[in-house]
Structure 1
Amino acid sequence: MKYLYFTVFLLLSISSFAQINPDNIDIVRDKWGVAHIYAETDAEVAYGLAWAHSEDDFETIQSTLLAGKLMAGRQFGKDGAGIDFFTQFIGAPELVKDKKNELSSEFLALLNGYVQGINSYAVYHQDEILHRKLFPIAEDDMLTAFVLSLSAMSGADKVIGDLVANKKFNNPYVGIGSNAIALSQNKTSTGESFLAVNSHQPFEGPASWYEVHLNSEEGWNMLGSLFPGSPTIFHGVNENLGWAHTVNHPDKMDVYQLRMHPEKKDHYYFDGDLIQLEKKKAKLKVKLLGLPIPLSKTYYESVYGPTLRNKHGYFALVFAANQDLKAIQQWYEMTKASNLDDFKKSLSGIHLPDFNIVYADKDHNIFYVCNAKLPKRNSNFMWNKVLPGDTSATIWNKFHDFSELPQYTNPVSGYLFNMNNTPFNATGKIDNLDSLKYPREMGYSLSDNNRSVRFQNLMRQEEKLSYNDFKRIKFDIQYPKEFQFEEDVNIIFALNPKEHPEIEDYLTILQKWDRKAEKKSIGAGLMKVLINNAKGKDIDEKLAVEIVEKSKSQLLEEFGTIEVPLEKLQVHKRGEVEMPIDGLPDVIAPMYSKKLGDGLKEKTYVGESYILLARFGEGLPKLESIMPYGASSKPESPHYTDQMEMFVNKELKPMTLDKEEIYENAARIYHPQVE
């Protein structure tokens, strides 16, 4: 009976594509549990990816799939219902229906291979399924989840959440960050080009990285990382080239306030005409007391697009991420590029709505683009503010071409980088672009941060870098001379300790601190408590004193002394494994932490996450990588915590794209099927 169910289940998921035979797929696990997947076709490799990733983290993959199937509320209650509303509000299911036919046959075959793999795993592991109605998954469910994820990455979820909560429009582009660095041959002492893939994502959950190696006979040989539920790698290295992503902050979305008729309900003015809003209802099911309760939430459609009402009025939200279905296909095409021209061609359609891209290759080219799908806007309006929603002058329908985006190819300075800072500080001073040559309404950031300032200070000291120099800079944990936080903590460091005897000891330690976020450092410990208390505050001298007083009081209350090193306040922890760790917010190798209990001690949860370093020279690139915990999210796995000690010690494990070497050193080789 089980195999009859299995057959019916798979038939439901195959659509027009042939059924994949798992015997044609090898999953090769190395000593660290990383999956290297081999098959003849890309679609078969995608099947193997779905199976291997499910073995390691099926629960998180399902959380993504539940959202794509509008079932998050059934599983996660009120919070999940918010996701289901967001998905319907942005029109993700309709976009998939309207534009799926624009996707290439090659990508659809890949997507179907992944769907077959995930459905097959679900059949054979029914005890791991979160909701009985989730499976089988279809391609449309996956595509809906991609639209949802990219829209959230663009900041739309925050704007909509604020509007639903009756808050006014706020800047959604606030993130923790990432690093990407590329050095060309003329900037290294080894004759190689270097690339650092160094995103700062959460260590667990739907936006956490999964390391994998994908290899097919159709020209796919890519090592890198992806998010749960993806059939392709997002950033990493193939035989010829590699790239890293960081989040960028141009103006990616617009909010309009409609001018409503004072008496005629749900009617608004537009170009002198009176138009009635189209009323819509998002259908939701919310788990309450274990039962799925059907609910609905009203929203509207205006000439601008999806529209919400709150106590401040009616607001429409317009952005690019929910207007294009090809972003995930573009990532797939990027993984198969063989040179810089191919790579730029894969980017030229600008299907990815955002993300900086920093690139290096075996021909010693380096490249950076502050990528974004940005509309051509009327320069007469302030596009970073709420816009008037009563005129066609604020409607846009064209996007800037790829050639119009800020980008650099092979600068004389020999290096490119981004650390979520302005794209106009991306290389040596002589090569940096002029921000005044780009339309103000594109909204590109002009600001730097602690990481970018510190990085440039270090690079000015280097003529040519060895690989060890490169690693030293990548793992740097020292703040620049002047702090670049949004909160002006420099005021605290300028206080005269003698004028504040009640906090003189605290200020003295802080001001003598070398600004290195080392776990043994008392100054780093005091800084951590200080940062937590200063967060979000508009600091003046009076408040600066109060922040230090509070920090001192907290340390005395818990430890009886203020001489508390960082290692007593911050640990890297998973399950029963716990160890002190370097790093503070916004150093080049940062750590961000959250409460572990009632006291001041915290555990890291985001910051340095997947790290991949590549050297391009003769032959295949030389690769090293590390994950915060390990390859598996299952506590019973030996790879649940086996990379933690190396991660804490800033050590990397050797990786390779060489098939012969991988098979020779394999810890396990098997097909994706029941044992």
Structure 2
Amino acid sequence: MVWVKRGAFALVGLLVLAVAVLATWEPFFASAAAPLQGRTYGAEIVRDEWGVPHIYGQTDADTAFGVAIAHAEDDFFTLQDVVAMARGRYGAIAGEDGAKVDYVYHLIDARGTAEREYPKLPQDTRALFEAYAAGLNQYAAEHPEEVKLANLFPVAGVDVAAGFALRQPFFFGLDSVIGPLVANEELRREHGPDIPGFPRPPLPAAEPLGPASASATKQARRLVLPLGEDAEHMGSNAFAVAPQKGGGTTTLVSNSHQPLRGGVAWYELVVESGEGWHFAGANFPGSPFPFLGHNEDLGWTNTVNTPDMIDVYKLELDETGTRYRLDGEWRDLESRWVTLPVKMGPVVLPIRREVLRSVHGPVIRNDKGAFAVRYGGIGRLEQLDAYYRLNKAKSFAEWEAQLARLAIPSTNFIYADKGGTIAYVYNAAIPARPEGVEADWRSVLPGDRSDLIWQGAVDYKALPRIVNPASGWLYNSNNTPFTAAGAGSDLDPQAFSPLLGIELKQTNRSRRAYRLLSEASVLDRATLEAIKYDTGYAREGYVARLFEGLAALKAEGRLAEARDLLLAWDFDADGKGPADAIALLMIRDFMSADYGNKPFPDVAEKLQAAADHLTTHFGRLDPPMADLLRLRQGSIDLPLDGGSDTLRASTTWDVDTDGRLSLKHGDSFIMWIEWAPGQRVVSRSVQPFGAASTRPQSKHYTDQMRLFVDHRLKPVRFWRDDVLAKASVRRTVTNRR
């Protein structure tokens, strides 16, 4: 029996050793970057009364160093997630969901792209990224107790660049192709003829109101949710008004709809340097510069567009599955194995996965075959330089020259400047598909023809663009670019090649904005604010179809009461009507079906779910909408107005245990910029929570929430004299030892 006991002890010892190895292997397996030596950075961080940082440096690089420090002070938690994604280690923090991001990181070769392309960037752009990395390293070294993952720091500029390479394709829907391919689903064209490009495949039905476990297919489709806007609920509004329409003032309104928390939540800042960089706006975690906002002379904002940016090819493999046919010859599939760290409780499991690539691009093999994916901007990284140059542009010509590079793969740009110029550019590095080649670009393409493997993007001049329309205004609400400036100023869709795959869709926000802007005789501040915070629905499109279904619905009892309540609704989510709460619950899923080109939901089923939710949690079908829809952070719990796809956007939410809906995506960072004649630029802004979004102990954790729900904005302290007069914190940061 002694040997049995000894064997048992040995087994226990082996198990303990195995657990210890699994708990510690990943940091040793990962390699940290070797930071550049010998460069000293210094910056001054001045925070205004709202905690928004204004970062000053002698050089642009000094300022970028300060950007990293300031952002880490407010949200090092999220910054670390972004750094882990940029190094293929997110699974060691976020488990299975993080490992899916890591898989995509390897699949699209984000690291390889960064390592190839980063050295080609101009020296001053690389200096910005090296300084930003140094700031992250400095904060991590000074706050080791906050670091989530061993050996995550130090990082170098190329690591930050890899994060850009990972994110950029997902803002035009690469996840909606990769997800179904991984899930063994058919890629099929959209319902209806209104987008003449390769479709976003149908997305899964929206989650039920109650808790439910997600299916494996749904999880596969949502591989990269932390990386970009959720295509199912994407949205943003942008407005520009010329002085002749705005009472003498040029106005730009930025109203991007992003998740309120996480890796693509906006972070507000102002940067200024002795080298002429002076810009106020917002960025995402992991960026040394703002992505939108304004400098002294000009500004811009963005909305997501959905041109045909992606092509999928079905490869013909040989009997070994390791070669594919191209132009009658067999070629080897590039193959490499990667290790994905997957955190499970106290251990991190090493999961091996094969990553494949052909000359087309990344390859996914499933039960239906092998499919290669090629997308606009593949293998490029010039957007890092283009955004930096946009920040420092002083004229419309300088600004547009950067867009004309098509270095930024997608997103609409709405522009305004102090001279009164306003512009809309449908920016997209749309693949230069060859004219006259026999192919159905809306379908899965044959992978054995090299003539279908396009190179580069269409010419900038081929894209929709409007400058100084006669109407005096421009807008976009994720709608077709062919409604942007009003009757007589809009572009003709027939003037653009169908190979561009430009969307022709409208959103409710677009229908409302177009009507309200067209009807206004003057677009002064008050009029434009009323439009931006509009909560109305047009009885058109999916809204009309929903209510036609309700009118035809045969129902009895409580379901009939719910139907009749909705049929009497005033089509305004202002929180004042008795049907606003049930309308809020209903409309999101039908909007989602329209946005994602999914089958239209069953009206009776959705109505029953909404009625059940309200009666279960509120005991009635008609509670005030303000009791249902909430903005929640820490101990602050405030009512909200608006709905999914209203200009005042409360797009999607988490369902809390008390049945309330806690906003998680919709109106986020709002910035209102004005150039009045003879005056320097002024701007106002608001965030849903506050500047210190993950620091509960900070007074800036929740201090903007009341402003946000009350439709109010705070001043942006753009000018140095202004911020110094309101400074709550002023300090110098350096990496000098």
TM-score, normalization by structure 1: 0.93
Query: How far is 1:451 from its partner?
Result: 0.4
Structure 2: which amino acid aligns with 1:281? W
Query: How far is 1:318 from its partner?
Result: 0.7
Maintained 8 Å contact 1:255/1:315 = yes
- Of 456, 467, 470, which residue of structure 2 is paired with 1:398? 456
Query: How far is 1:167 from its partner?
Result: 2.2
Query: How far is 1:91 from its partner?
Result: 1.4
2: CA distance between counterparts of 1:423 and 1:384? 20
Question: What is the match of residue 95 of structure 1?
Answer: 113
In structure 1, the residue corresponding to 2:272 is in which secondary structure? Answer: strand
- Of 684, 693, 696, which residue of structure 2 is paired with 1:624? 684
Structure 2: which amino acid aligns with 1:14? L
2: CA distance between counterparts of 1:232 and 1:409? 26
Question: Which shifted more, 272-281 or 627-636?
Answer: 272-281
In structure 2, the residue corresponding to 1:13 is in which secondary structure? Answer: coil
Maintained 8 Å contact 1:280/1:301 = no
In structure 1, the residue corresponding to 2:537 is in which secondary structure? Answer: coil
Query: How far is 1:277 from its partner?
Result: 2.1
- Of 570, 580, 585, which residue of structure 1 is paired with 2:629? 570
1:636 aligns with 2:715: no
Maintained 8 Å contact 1:41/1:218 = yes
Summarize the alignment of residues 495-534 of structure 1 with structure 2, pairs less than 5 Å apart.
495=552, 503-531=559-587
Closer, same or farther: CA 438–12 of 1 in aligned 2, 3 Å: same
2: CA distance between counterparts of 1:532 and 1:662? 41
Maintained 8 Å contact 1:195/1:615 = yes
2: CA distance between counterparts of 1:75 and 1:606? 23
In structure 2, the residue corresponding to 1:196 is in which secondary structure? Answer: strand
- Of 315, 319, 327, which residue of structure 1 is paired with 2:375? 319
Query: How far is 1:619 from its partner?
Result: 2.7
Summarize the alignment of residues 367-382 of structure 1 with structure 2, pairs less than 5 Å apart.
367-379=423-435, 380-382=438-440
Maintained 8 Å contact 1:448/1:484 = no
Closer, same or farther: CA 494–482 of 1 in aligned 2, 3 Å: farther
2: CA distance between counterparts of 1:522 and 1:276? 64
1: CA distance between counterparts of 2:600 and 2:403? 43
1: CA distance between counterparts of 2:58 and 2:163? 28
Maintained 8 Å contact 2:87/2:111 = no
In structure 1, the residue corresponding to 2:93 is in which secondary structure? Answer: helix
Question: What is the match of residue 3 of structure 1?
Answer: none
Question: What is the match of residue 722 of structure 2?
Answer: 661
Closer, same or farther: CA 109–313 of 1 in aligned 2, 3 Å: same
Question: What is the match of residue 713 of structure 2?
Answer: 652
% same residue: 33
Question: What is the match of residue 4 of structure 1?
Answer: none
* CA deviation vs aligned residue, 1:448-474 (integer Å, no higher than 9, x gap): 110000111111211212111111111
2: CA distance between counterparts of 1:94 and 1:549? 50
* CA deviation vs aligned residue, 1:280-313 (integer Å, no higher than 9, x gap): 2223233334333333211322231221110011
- Of 65, 89, 94, which residue of structure 2 is paired with 1:76? 94
Question: What is the match of residue 60 of structure 1?
Answer: 78
Question: Which shifted more, 462-471 or 167-176?
Answer: 167-176
Maintained 8 Å contact 1:517/1:584 = yes
Query: How far is 1:264 from its partner?
Result: 4.3
Closer, same or farther: CA 604–416 of 1 in aligned 2, 3 Å: same
Maintained 8 Å contact 1:533/1:551 = no
TM-score, normalization by structure 2: 0.85
Structure 2: which amino acid aligns with 1:249? T
Please list every run of 5 or more consecutive structure 2 residues that lacks an aligned counterpart in the other structure.
1-31, 189-198, 201-230
* CA deviation vs aligned residue, 1:378-432 (integer Å, no higher than 9, x gap): 3532323211111123110131121211111111111111110001111112111
Query: How far is 1:201 from its partner?
Result: 0.2
Question: What is the match of residue 249 of structure 1?
Answer: 306
- Of 654, 666, 670, which residue of structure 2 is paired with 1:607? 666
1:14 aligns with 2:74: no
* CA deviation vs aligned residue, 1:125-178 (integer Å, no higher than 9, x gap): 111111121010111111111100112223223422322222233644644210
Query: How far is 1:71 from its partner?
Result: 1.5
Q: State the number of aligned residues.
A: 657
Maintained 8 Å contact 2:433/2:454 = yes
Maintained 8 Å contact 1:211/1:631 = yes
Query: How far is 1:266 from its partner?
Result: 2.8
Question: What is the match of residue 35 of structure 1?
Answer: 53
Structure 1: which amino acid aligns with 2:705? M
Question: What is the match of residue 644 of structure 2?
Answer: 585
In structure 1, the residue corresponding to 2:581 is in which secondary structure? Answer: helix
- Of 479, 489, 502, which residue of structure 2 is paired with 1:421? 479
In structure 2, the residue corresponding to 1:412 is in which secondary structure? Answer: coil
2: CA distance between counterparts of 1:582 and 1:389? 50
In structure 2, the residue corresponding to 1:672 is in which secondary structure? Answer: strand
Summarize the alignment of residues 133-148 of structure 1 with structure 2, pairs less than 5 Å apart.
133-148=151-166
Maintained 8 Å contact 1:620/1:658 = no
Query: How far is 1:13 from its partner?
Result: 1.8
Closer, same or farther: CA 174–506 of 1 in aligned 2, 3 Å: closer
- Of 334, 357, 360, which residue of structure 2 is paired with 1:278? 334
Structure 1: which amino acid aligns with 2:672? L
Closer, same or farther: CA 79–152 of 1 in aligned 2, 3 Å: same
* CA deviation vs aligned residue, 1:52-107 (integer Å, no higher than 9, x gap): 00000001011111111222122222222222221111112221222223211111
Structure 1: which amino acid aligns with 2:151? K
Question: What is the match of residue 235 of structure 2?
Answer: 177
Please list every run of 5 or more consecutive structure 1 residues that lacks an aligned counterpart in the other structure.
1-9
1: CA distance between counterparts of 2:128 and 2:268? 19
Q: Tell me the C-alpha RMSD between the 2 structures.
A: 2.3
1: CA distance between counterparts of 2:119 and 2:459? 23
Maintained 8 Å contact 2:234/2:304 = no
- Of 590, 605, 620, which residue of structure 2 is paired with 1:561? 620
1: CA distance between counterparts of 2:460 and 2:503? 18
Structure 1: which amino acid aligns with 2:36? I
